[in-house]
Structure 1
Amino acid sequence: MSSNIEPAVTEKIENLRNALHRHNYQYYVLDDPEISDAEYDRMMQELIALESAHPELASPDSPSSRVGGIPLDKFESVAHSVPMLSLDNGFNDSDILEFDKRVRKNLGLPPRSQATLREQKGNVADELLYTAEPKMDGVAVELVYENGRLVMASTRGDGVRGEVITSNVKTIPSVPLLLNQENGRKIPSRVEVRGEIFMKADRFRKLNEERLRMNLSPFANPRNAAAGSLRQLDPRITAKRPLEIFLYGIGRITDLEFESHWDSLQALKGLGFRINPLIRPGITIQDTLDYYKELSEKRHNLPYDIDGMVIKVDNLLFQSQLGATSKSPRWAIAYKFKAVQETTRIMSIDVQVGRTGALTPVARLEPVNVGGVMVSNATLHNEDEIRRKDIRVGDTVLVQRAGDVIPEVVKVIGSKRTGAEQIFNMPQTCPVCGAEVVDRDEAVSRCNNMNCPAQIKARIRHFASKRAFDIEGLGDKLVEQLVSRGLISSYADIFNLDKENLQRLERMGPKSAANLINAVEASKKITFDRFLYALGIRHVGENVAGILADKFESADKLCSASLNELTAAEGIGPEIAQSVRHFFEQDENRKTVARILDSGVEILFEAKPENRPLEGKLFVLTGSLEGMTRSEAQKMIEAAGGKMTNSVSRNTDYLVLGKSPGSKLARAKKLGIEIIRESDLDKLIKI
């Protein structure tokens, strides 16, 4: 810092920053502003003027940084320390009651009809409680704070990795740049939180009106507008967009412990984050159904879009015990609102061929606006679905979309038929290569030719995609040329591309060819999970690939793994295991994997602790531990290969006894479970 700056100037800048941070908290979190917008703007302009005059006093967490920083060349990617999983969906009360039944069964709780309600130390006991939250129709993001300062913001991406959008998120006024430290509040050293960025309906309309005046295309809906705003390489553009945020959960947080999801949300609010005021905590499953009806009625009067309600088990220990599948947490479900529907006409039906050879009929529609999105295509799923609904070319149909779900044809409006409609039949040969079409599982017709150009192109596109090998420049059009000209016929051929041949392709000069060769070379170091995902094994998405990569220590071990070894991995069911086994049993697939590795591709493996003395052991804790929190104990047990659950059963190996134990102690004694102290746990782990 320059010694020429007067202390009064430094003090003035610091006071303005602190005041603006506090007024943001008052306005966005407490909804209790203490000054007018005009006064806030004057303070901001004064701060900007002082910082411009003294650039050496610049700070990345100054409120002035919200005006937008330096444009980016591209978005980097980052791994989420805790995956941002998607939610299973429910569409009626029966789905939600079935969810409650599954949760109770997995927790060892009695069915709802037998559950009793009684008070114990001021808390409701023996009753499973939920938190119900409006499901925002926005863009999910993760915010990371270190020592109270925002250091990273990223998109959800594929749930495992997202794009870094820190500069853009910092422009959003309702995102705190510094966590609230008022009243001596303890600030965790690291906070990872998840939220939904959205745009209010009235601000969205004004934005579109402005775009039309500038002869720019309007956004289709608020969600698309928010997503487009966050993906601007120039943060100054994002700063002009009316974005807001609601936080809905924690990824990982240090130094703080919570018993319930609601407690964690209240703590976030205290730290300066906005949470939705319509969240309903600590309610029974029947209460959630009642609240769903209430939200359904008021959704159209809300200032922002919601497309359903999220129901979460409130008890965090229960959440931990329930765990997750490869795709979704078992402790939460989205209860979606009824889909938006519109009427249109089927102009034709085309058949697309995917990378697994699956033939999917797609309806080409007269474009129609469905819930703010122009829809011109709708999936028809398969031939059985077409027959069941009696869908014909030329039919007037009801089309629906719900949130991110691909638009589909709900039903044919028979009264609109003229007699000119044409019955559709799935082709007996592949529409791309002419090979025989066979009916396999799941009522899906498939092209029987593994060398079908459509399959090859789709597999190569998948292999080179951002979530797989991430080969920049290898887009759809280039893949089309490479396959059509016979330069590649397998994704293994990518690593043998020749610069001279590339230069002969359309729009591929020497520089573009060199860039692609460099991108291919740069992709050769890849983590095992992304490598597995890139192979395009049926049923193996990003999360399943992560489970397999964590379970098996090399490609060779996975290749030779038996069905029993595969299903031993938590989250891998018989269908996934059979698909993986079938893939590696094919000689051609094994040769292709070998060719890839022989081309210089290096698979990166995360180092695992050599000593896992608690492998396969099940632990239950009761009472308060002295040397660690429950969360720390759970992490320590899991790091040593064990698992921790909340209830004592015959499958429990050890009960860890703390101070003031509960009823679990008596049950453990009755079942003959081994009871150990905290010191004994340390000894077991250090064996």
Structure 2
Amino acid sequence: MTADEAKIEIENLTKEINSLNEAYYQRHESKVSDFDFDMMLKRLQQLENEFPQFKDPHSPTTRVGGTVNKNFKSVKHEYPMLSLANTYTDEEIFEFDKRVRKGLAEEKVEYVCELKFDGVAISLIYEEGKLTQAITRGDGVQGDDVTDNVKTIRNIPLKLKGEGWPQKFEVRGEILLPLAEFERINKEREDIGEAPLANPRNAASGTIKMQDSSIVAQRRLDCYLYNLLGENLTVPSHSNALALLESWGVPVSPTYKTCGSLEGVKAYIQHWENERQNLPVEIDGIVIKVNDLNQRAELGNTSKNPRWAIAYKYQAEKAMTRLDKVTFQVGRTGAVTPVANLEPVELAGTIVKRASLYNADEIERLDLHIDDQVYVEKGGEIIPKITGVLADQRSKNAVKINFVSNCPECGTALVRKEGEVNYYCPNENGCEPQIKGKIEHFVQRRAMNIMSLGSRTINALHKAGLVDNIADLYELKADDILKLEGFKEQSTAKLLQGIEDSKQMPFEIVLFAVGIRFVGKTVAEKLAIHFETLEQLQKATFEELIEAPEIGEKIANSVLEYFAEENNLSMLNRLKSYGLNFEIQRSEEAEQVGTSLEGLSFVISGVFEKYSRDELKDLIKNNGGKVVSALSSKVSFLLAGDKMGPSKLAKAEKLGTKIISENEFLEKIGL
């Protein structure tokens, strides 16, 4: 492909993908399948890597992320980000209205009511219709520049629609983690042995400050914006400003309402107190704002809060009930989780029978006893939790609840590693929930996608002695399966074909599917791309593991422990012999665009300013060079970034390997 051809295709793909994104995120229209969309995006990424000179700074591929920030630059807000005064009663709203009218010395005041989203405050700067900067609230005077992460949020426009926007303006709002995404992430975390996230708000806050924007992209954050700021704005009211933002393609929640009286404000509060359970995101109250912008200017601000707005906070929903007992569940990774079994009680429109207790520390903190009267809350939490115990109503003979010392399934003594909150059953090859859980994890849609293998079939196969680990699946024969209840020739053939088809799954999926503790889908992809083969990953030292993107000490130790187990190595060897992929399969080699690195080999280590490690790998290969994972006397260069491991530096110096910086490397290839 010539440069001119690449330029045209990049422009066409960018335009088409932007159009599809707008249809999906603004009008809720799906015009192509997810697969077709992903293939278009993948093609655009490939072309941009090969021809970086044609990449639009606001390309839709920035939604995928990949930029790594060592730290976030602090930026002063042009307009301070004040917090709102809170109220919890109708009387306080009346007093607020009274203060507003007194401050304006007039009777006629119109309010706009909005939902108070429970997320992370953000300020977006647009210049000439393009998103140029995103800043967190921080201390209200200055915040962190999180632009690369915010660009991954699909409903935030990188370029505005329409026309007539100011040369530069600011728009503020809230970044949120939708409830469905919060539940999905927590299921994944529990599946790999991680503690669940506490609530959507904290999860959104933690996500927006992650170093790797590709992980932020996978969290599927959402955003609503509700405040327009800038010089020489001509809009007379807040409601006009919201309508203007909507016309530019900015995500504004359609739930706002203009109210000409306090009765209208109260009706709005009452409506959403009942309806908030049906929203896809968390809210914790209502914001009441003076609509007229001139009146706002007249009222002004205190040192902390605007005088023209107030937040009405809903009380967290809770109920009192009796604790019947605590049961202990064993997960795929061996983590033992306590669950409170409650006398059924209605809470937030549903009947609650169980509540999460998280871990042994939570049981100890609450000092729980059998038959305790407890408060259950569903405020910012998706899963109900116990927030209080009525100890004064406890019977003198009440039995204190202690965390179990042995596995409730197999009886093995539990272990708790230093620095971890969970207790684990170490009998992973003999504890039934772990055995079946590992197989269920392996076959799930996000892993090997053997959809004809449900939990009931796995249970039947295990009970019949046919499957004790994931490698046994690939030795199943039709005659074995036909002996199981409910299986006929057609369903048996479908099951075996599903197992056979799974052999085509790429290495990064297989690595996720085998179920290394703490190695979720994203981490598996990082490890697969970084080490390229199972053999290289298996040989990696602790120092080499933590040099891989987003791999910390906990994950590195878990990987080392996994490969130290003879049973795991035996199973992996069996899977390899059955034909599963244990190295990165590149469907087509990237087209070489230069020869400046021909005959040279590179080891990449550390964190870089301008490019991610994967992008640097592509640049090396596109210019005729070779990327290797370990230093040796044959390696030409160590491409060194920040936070490079001292052992790698020492080894390079010992071998006499030339060490170059990111800028020196880019000069070599003419960038």
Taking structure 1 as the reference length, the TM-score comes to: 0.48
